[in-house]
Chains A and B, each alone.
Chain A
Amino acid sequence: MKKILPLILLVPCLALGANNHHNPISSTSFTTVGISQNVTNATPVKGVVKDETGTTLPGVSVVIKGTTTGTQTDANGKFSLNANPGDVLVFSYVGYTKKEVIVANQTNFTIVLSSDSKSLNEVVVTALGIKKSEKSLTYSTDQVSGKELTDVPTDNLMNSLNGKLSGVTITPSASGVGGSAKVILRGNKSVAGGNQPLYVIDGIPISNGSNSNGQPNSTYGTAVGQGGGGIASTNQDGGDGISNLNPDDIESITVLKGASAAALYGSQAQNGVILITTKKGKAGKAVINFSSSFTADKIAYQPQFQNTYGQSPTAATQSWGPKLTSSAPDNLSQFFQTGTNFTNSINISGGSEMAQTYFSYANTTAAGVEPGNKLSRNNINLRETGHFLNNKLTLDANVNYVAQNVDNSPGLGFYLNPLTGLYLFPRGQNITPYKTQFELPAVAGGNGAPTQNWPFNEDVQQNPWWITNRDPNTSNRNRTIINATAKYDITSWLSIQARGIDDRTYDTYQQDLYAGTIGVLSKANGQFLLTNQLNEHKYADMLITFSVPGKSDFKLDGILGGSITDDHVDGTNIGPDVNNNYNGNGLIIPNVFVPQNLDVAADGSPVQNLQAVHNQDQALFANANLSYKNWAYLTVTARNDWSSELAYTPNESYFYPSAGLSLILSQMLALPTDISYAKIRGTYAQVGNTVSIPYATDPLTHFGTGGVTLNSVAPFPLLKPERTNSFELGTDLRFFADKLSASFTYYKSNTTDQAIAILPAFTTSFSKGYLNAGNIQNSGVEFTLGYEAIHTTNFSWNTSFNGSANRNKVLDVDSKAGIPQVVLTPNNNNSYESILATGGSYNDIYGVTFKRDSQGRILIGAGGAPETNNGYNYLGNPDPKFQLGWENNIKYKNFNFEFLVDGKFGGQVLSLTQAVMDQYGVSEASGAARNAGGVKINGVNATTGVPVTSVDPYTWYSTVGGRAGISENYMYSATVVRLREASLGYTVPFTSGAIKSLRFSLIGRNLIYFYKKAPFDPEVTMSTGNGLSGVDVFNQPATRNYGLSLNATF
């Protein structure tokens, strides 16, 4: 098969080559264009364009078909132009169905354009960017218009989808402006691979890579055990690729949730696909859109403190001291600031029927709620679309440039995080002196550098302002995405298309640690880390699309294609030599952060190559669709992949099929007239996925101490791709002339042959090994319900619900090899672990539990403190059992009001923040317990059997609290119901002038928590990777945003 691949790819080449030379049609196309351009006896025609409700539409493009002649409607929806009888006028407007009208003798037209909200449903962008009729789809899809992304803007466009789609779980990260978002479609599937969907722009996959930081996977944030040797990695979120895009460039988003919808994309689409269709230039006079928005962000909640008891006399870092004489100052307000987000974007679109241009520029300037956290992003996008050779050839090219800079992305976890020092600061003490003077003059006999002004010496805390001013980090990203498509219609039933993309991201990341930073993290003279990374993603494909001509009840169409995907990440790391953990001063001269100043051991090197990752996947695929009388549709796909990740294994190739059927009952059968549309659908699909475990098949030795350090990973020469088998059944219904629509889907998927990284017993001498095993099952239901409640000229109300429930079950990890569990996040000696165990679910939280007697009473040991069970035990799972969104869109004359309420129900989360605050005696709970004279418990003395109902608060919280305490005590319900977003808009009724439309909106996001029991927002995550789910470790609180936006069209 290896050798056949190039041959097959050459077949379309020959076909294309042949037609290029011998197709006589190309010459006639010039003739046709020539005729229409030689118009001499045109007469004026005029008219007005309205929507279905009779409202006039300004800015509608009116073009004579086949020419560049055209105009736009004015503010009153009127147009006039010169045309010949027989010319075809084409009316097009965003959000409305295109309409063509032949000019006969009539010279005054009234054109009614119908809203294309239904037509959107009728034509759906599917895998590979292919548009299909909604009827023929055998699986469920969800669509979101670009407007929904930009109504209430955020700095990561995926957060705008939160709550709007069934079966989609979006969790924003706690990492301030420029942070990533975790997007999971129908549950987590892969143990070692990613679980986030594939992002596709205009049919072509792009990269969603972060910088070399990636995502943290330790409750400390930073890598543990690297401190004394200097920083090997840090705890900031590297930001994701999707957040780089300008939401204003997006026409619509289609979400393909199941494997079946994505079978043609192969490996990367196992977790579903987010298809983004971007705006193209439109024929007609240039249209300029300008939009601007400003939001102010405030923390949405803060931890609850006690204000009664002061600093402990013997343990000055804690607040178990005597009662305060006056109330404690509010130290948090000294730190948190009001964040801002100012986004301006402009786009220009225009062109002729032959060539259209779209250009946009956007600028985002944002500041986070933690001081120093800033984002600045500039996006430039230019798209050209051209039609040649009598419209037989379409060329489409797009250049996208993103420059982004993020400063001081907030630290997460126990280390290098300003919130630990801020929250734990003794109650009753005023933190202001440490804010105004975060550093002290150099000490005599020292290295001449200022020192940190902080009274405590503990690894978990530093002066918050020292961290924000003297431990700064910067992430810089330059990204270019260049893609091009050429499509040629060979005949009316056969076309060929070639596409390619080069998505190149260059990241630099620098973390400075000034002299005076705590010794666990830095060195005497300071320390720094500089990383350069190039992430290049290339993809090319060729598709032959056919549809068998003929007038039969049966119709057959399909695609044959081949693709090649090449991902390459490479770079260098400059900083402490992690291979040679030198205990020098870090820097030669304090606080000069250049590579030449690194203090390195004689045989060490401050510069290291990052371990490059180069994956290439080649594929051949085919798709055939057979339909009967427009009511029965059968789809089959087949794909074969060859993957470089399987090099050194016996088989680099793997195959997988899918099949689906949909029936339009409303056309098949005579249904009651109230049912305007009824469809049932079912599909089965398999997707293979090679999990990227670089070099697992052939691990090599590394440079290290004394020359080399052996790599004690057991080689894995039998790596196989993991496979997801899935099926779904569903129905789509519309009632009462489409006023009410409903959709329901049941799905189930099993992902097997997981590449599982195991930790062999130490005594085997292997530190790591891999196995192919496992079976993770996701099953669930999804529904959407839409209702046009009111629809009159002046007033309309549309409402919709979406809901979904997913059950994730780990059916097996590896019972054959006797391996019951895989650790996703190790405990690092803190009381949180993320474990995937046979019989459990993905993201299960494990921790330390109380030892209880048969009656469930807590056993109290000799010292009066509760006893604990051995090891780490199951505490809960943070994933919602059910999620529900309720969207409303109300229009009254020129006002519109939109709001979204959503709820995530069920699940439990862990707050280590609360645990440590309790241990330090700063929390409200610790104060209340002291006021009450003890912590009320249902316990029993372990030796005497005497019931214990109250425990001394200090004894209790110093055992139960803390980062290594009894985490069972800190589990909270993850249920949260909120007013996710709301906007109130007013469209200024212009009648004339340069401005064609103008709209102002008041906008808000995360406005009200209707229900929230956890001491933090359970949705916000510390990592968007596979670990650290459902745990809060001094994460930046979620924010509440308010603002104003303006949209103008010229």
Chain B
Amino acid sequence: MKLRLSVAGLLACVLLAVTSCTKNFEKYNTDNTGLQPSQFSAALIFQGIQTALFGEEGNYQLDQNLNADCYSGYMMSPDPFRGNINNLTYSLVDGWNQQVFSDAYTISMFDINYIAAVGTKASQPDFWAIALILKVETMDRVTDKYGPIAYSAVGKSVTATPYDSQQSVYNQFFLELDTAVTSLNTYIKANPGATPFQKYDLVYNGDYTKWLKFANSLRLRLAMHLTKIDAVTAQAQAEKALDPTNGGLMSVPSDDAGISGGGYHNPLFVITTSWTDISLGAPLQTYMTGYNDPRLPVYASPVVTNPKTAGALPATYAGQYIGIRIGSLITAKPSYNSYSTLNPTTAVSSSSPMIMMTAAEVWFLKAEAALRGWPNAGNAQTDYNTGIQTSMAQWGVSPGNYITDATSTQAAYTDPTNSANSSPALSTATIAWNAGATNEQNLERIITQKWLAMFPEGQEAWTEYRRTGYPKLFPVVTNNSNGTIDSQIQIRRLAYPQAEYTSNGAAVKAAVQLLGGPDNGGTRVWWDVAKANF
């Protein structure tokens, strides 16, 4: 008994003494699921930056789908979110729209800052060039929604980050594209055919010549945004983009910049199928039915009726294309569920790429540049027709006599459920180029066809609608903006997240000064000027 006791006693003591040491504390407090910075290369982050550009369905729905995709006339939700008082009736939902900031800054900007911090700029200038192109593409989507944004100072403080004016942001974009284009040109010359980025590339499978074309095309797009506010910069940057010595522009569908693969799947597929939260917008439907556009069955699915489903449309509408008008009085989800949706087997199939930019868009940008008389832009009519043909080729349809159709115009909109939403057609623009028409008429033609070709990239479509006023879009039926947004002028921007006022208040208040108007959806951003196109 004595012996056993002393052994037990000593054992207990030794146990305590041995474990009583803090040397394991760091081991215990180290994340077992984590990676030390030494355990991975910064290149592995690129895929995350690319997928975050549009995001998974939950992010995408809030980042773009429930704002720009609907404001551009492409789509409309059949879901009466928040009792139908939401972005789509011009009552801006802060909790939705803050997702844009959350994704752009805490994912994309954070990651790009990390890539810079580990010295990629010097060690792999070609990778850094890709990072810069993705940065500009990502943040252009943010600044075009809000106006002034935080850009040059991001990541320098955990408590306060000042905003830059939108003009300054655009200037930084152009400079960053300069760096990217120079680096890529240098690399391609030194290492022809090399594809070191292939493993991380969800866009071009490592083809730097295509990244170069995308960078130049992006510059042309950004330049065109500035036609009203700063025509000189617009033309100068456009000329730089059009200069073939800089690497050229996207011209054929294989140049299209879209994100797919690597486990990323088209978010519109899930939103359309599983969630049934998005449908075809009345404007896209009316232009396409009016124009007999062969792309319509690729973009959209016709009405499917089912008498068992509550609120479904009667069987007589089966097979027709009927979109939903923005701001419609939607009381409950089944009431608009049987309207046309996006086509989940073609345009928004699970594996179809999320399109950042297409060659077709570039042809229309060139057409506008030519219309404005800028050098190296070619012939407006040729560019215009090539744009339509390139788009048709992109979606695998035959244009038929579409390009020469000089009579078809937008159709009127009839809502079978609620006639209050119906509207006569707004546009009389026809398809065929008319050299005798005014610049304004031909601009409407270019932008309308560009809009039809850019689907489903609602962000750029909304930007171009705000800049040019085309295509003509039905105003909201219900306006819950409490007078801050004019239904006819339509929404011009999103309001800054309330969270910025809470945590970065001084900076966002200074940004509102830069904006030059109240922080609501009725204030125009810097490049959006209320004046004629010409």
| A932 interfacial contact with B, CB 8 Å | no
| B350 interfacial contact with A, CB 8 Å | yes
Please name all residues of chain A whose beta carbon is closer than 8 Å to the beta carbon of B24 when the two chains form the complex. 616, 644
Q: Do A712 and B107 form a contact, CB below 8 Å, given A21-B2, A456-B333, A457-B333?
A: yes
Q: Which A residues from 564 to 598 make CB contacts under 8 A with B?
A: 564, 566, 570, 580-583
Please name all residues of chain A whose beta carbon is closer than 8 Å to the beta carbon of B20 when the two chains form the complex. 5-6, 9, 562, 564, 618
| B158 interfacial contact with A, CB 8 Å | yes
One of B10, B28, B266, B333 near A615 (C-beta < 8 A): B28
One of B5, B32, B85, B331 near A20 (C-beta < 8 A): B5
How many residues on the A side are at the interface (Cβ–Cβ under 8 A)? 122
Q: Which A residues from 662 to 710 make CB contacts under 8 A with B?
A: 694-695, 697-710
| B30 interfacial contact with A, CB 8 Å | yes
Q: Do A705 and B48 form a contact, CB below 8 Å, given A523-B274, A540-B12, A710-B110?
A: yes
Please name all residues of chain B whose beta carbon is closer than 8 Å to the beta carbon of A962 when the two chains form the complex. 82-83
Give the complex CA separation of A233 and B431 in angstroms: 52
Q: How far is the CB of B88 from chain A (nearest CB, A)?
A: 14
Give the complex CA separation of A226 and B56 in angstroms: 10
Q: Which of A185-193, A246-254, A601-609 contacts B (4 or more CB under 8 A)?
A: A601-609
Please name all residues of chain A whose beta carbon is closer than 8 Å to the beta carbon of B266 when the two chains form the complex. 583
One of A227, A456, A861 near B58 (C-beta < 8 A): A227
| A551 interfacial contact with B, CB 8 Å | no
Interface size class of B (residues with CB under 8 A): 35 or more
The answer to whether B110 and A317 touch across the interface, beta carbons within 8 angstroms, is: no
Please name all residues of chain A whose beta carbon is closer than 8 Å to the beta carbon of B449 when the two chains form the complex. none
| B13 interfacial contact with A, CB 8 Å | yes
Give the complex CA separation of A316 and B308 in angstroms: 12
Q: How far is the CB of A926 from chain B (nearest CB, A)?
A: 14
Give the complex CA separation of A1016 and B236 in angstroms: 67
Give the complex CA separation of A962 and B83 in angstroms: 7
Interface centre among A21, A312, A705, A708 (most CB of B within 10 A): A705
Please name all residues of chain A whose beta carbon is closer than 8 Å to the beta carbon of B334 when the two chains form the complex. 315-317, 455-457
Nearest B residue (CB) for A21: B6
Give the complex CA separation of A646 and B26 in angstroms: 9
| A763 interfacial contact with B, CB 8 Å | yes
Tell me what chain B mostly uses at the interface: helix, strand, loop, or mixed: helix
The answer to whether A707 and B44 touch across the interface, beta carbons within 8 angstroms, is: yes
The answer to whether B40 and A701 touch across the interface, beta carbons within 8 angstroms, is: yes
Please name all residues of chain A whose beta carbon is closer than 8 Å to the beta carbon of B214 when the two chains form the complex. none
Nearest A residue (CB) for B89: A863
Q: Which B residues from 223 to 273 make CB contacts under 8 A with A?
A: 262-266, 269-271, 273
The answer to whether A708 and B350 touch across the interface, beta carbons within 8 angstroms, is: no
The answer to whether A708 and B33 touch across the interface, beta carbons within 8 angstroms, is: no
Give the complex CA separation of A919 and B105 in angstroms: 37
Give the complex CA separation of A393 and B497 in angstroms: 68
Interface centre among A611, A646, A759, A765 (most CB of B within 10 A): A765
Tell me what chain A mostly uses at the interface: helix, strand, loop, or mixed: loop
Give the complex CA separation of A648 and B30 in angstroms: 10
Q: Which A residues from 1 to 56 make CB contacts under 8 A with B?
A: 2, 5-6, 9-10, 12-13, 16-17, 20-21, 26
Nearest B residue (CB) for A16: B9
Nearest B residue (CB) for A5: B20
Give the complex CA separation of A667 and B499 in angstroms: 62
The answer to whether A764 and B32 touch across the interface, beta carbons within 8 angstroms, is: no
Please name all residues of chain B whose beta carbon is closer than 8 Å to the beta carbon of A388 when the two chains form the complex. 1, 5
The answer to whether B17 and A10 touch across the interface, beta carbons within 8 angstroms, is: yes
One of B36, B58, B311, B337 near A700 (C-beta < 8 A): B36
Nearest A residue (CB) for B21: A6
Q: Which of A502-510, A818-826, A895-903 contacts B (4 or more CB under 8 A)?
A: A818-826
Nearest A residue (CB) for B417: A314
Nearest B residue (CB) for A603: B263
Nearest B residue (CB) for A959: B83
The answer to whether A829 and B310 touch across the interface, beta carbons within 8 angstroms, is: no
Please name all residues of chain B whose beta carbon is closer than 8 Å to the beta carbon of A648 when the two chains form the complex. 26, 29
| A229 interfacial contact with B, CB 8 Å | yes
Please name all residues of chain A whose beta carbon is closer than 8 Å to the beta carbon of B15 when the two chains form the complex. 540
The answer to whether B9 and A698 touch across the interface, beta carbons within 8 angstroms, is: no
Q: How far is the CB of B35 from chain A (nearest CB, A)?
A: 5
Q: Do A612 and B276 form a contact, CB below 8 Å, given A229-B58, A602-B263, A710-B114?
A: no
One of B25, B45, B57, B159 near A818 (C-beta < 8 A): B159
Task: Annotate B393-429 by CB proximity to A: 1 below 8 A, 0 otherwise.
Answer: 0000000000000000000000001000000000000
One of A227, A564, A769, A867 near B158 (C-beta < 8 A): A769
| B93 interfacial contact with A, CB 8 Å | yes
Task: Annotate A314-331 by CB proximity to B: 1 below 8 A, 0 otherwise.
Answer: 111110000000000000
Give the complex CA separation of A644 and B20 in angstroms: 12
Q: Which of B297-305, B364-372, B382-390, B502-510 contacts A (4 or more CB under 8 A)?
A: B502-510
The answer to whether B262 and A603 touch across the interface, beta carbons within 8 angstroms, is: yes
Q: How far is the CB of A385 from chain B (nearest CB, A)?
A: 16
Task: Annotate A817-855 by CB proximity to B: 1 below 8 A, 0 otherwise.
Answer: 111110000011100000000000000000000000000
Interface centre among B51, B263, B310, B500 (most CB of A within 10 A): B263
The answer to whether A618 and B22 touch across the interface, beta carbons within 8 angstroms, is: yes
Nearest A residue (CB) for B310: A316
Q: Do A16 and B275 form a contact, CB below 8 Å, given A228-B57, A318-B332, A765-B109?
A: no
One of B85, B154, B332, B333 near A959 (C-beta < 8 A): B85
Give the complex CA separation of A459 and B337 in angstroms: 13
Please name all residues of chain B whose beta carbon is closer than 8 Å to the beta carbon of A26 when the two chains form the complex. 1-2
The answer to whether A762 and B311 touch across the interface, beta carbons within 8 angstroms, is: no
| A444 interfacial contact with B, CB 8 Å | no
The answer to whether A486 and B8 touch across the interface, beta carbons within 8 angstroms, is: yes
Q: Which B residues from 77 to 132 make CB contacts under 8 A with A?
A: 81-85, 93-96, 98, 101-102, 104-107, 109-111, 113-114
Give the complex CA separation of A760 and B157 in angstroms: 9
| A961 interfacial contact with B, CB 8 Å | yes
The answer to whether B40 and A762 touch across the interface, beta carbons within 8 angstroms, is: no
**Top 8 closest pairs, chain A to chain B, by CB:** A706-B47, A700-B34, A13-B13, A519-B274, A761-B504, A315-B332, A316-B310, A225-B58
Interface residues of A (CB under 8 A from B): 2, 5-6, 9-10, 12-13, 16-17, 20-21, 26, 224-229, 312, 314-318, 388-389, 393, 455-459, 486, 488, 498, 500, 519-520, 523-524, 540, 542, 562, 564, 566, 570, 580-583, 601-604, 608-612, 614-616, 618, 642-648, 652, 694-695, 697-712, 714, 758-767, 769, 817-821, 827-829, 861, 863, 867, 870-871, 919, 958-959, 961-965
**What are 11 A-to-B residue pairs whose CB atoms are below 8 Å?**
A2-B21, A21-B6, A318-B332, A455-B309, A583-B270, A645-B29, A710-B111, A759-B503, A762-B106, A762-B499, A828-B95
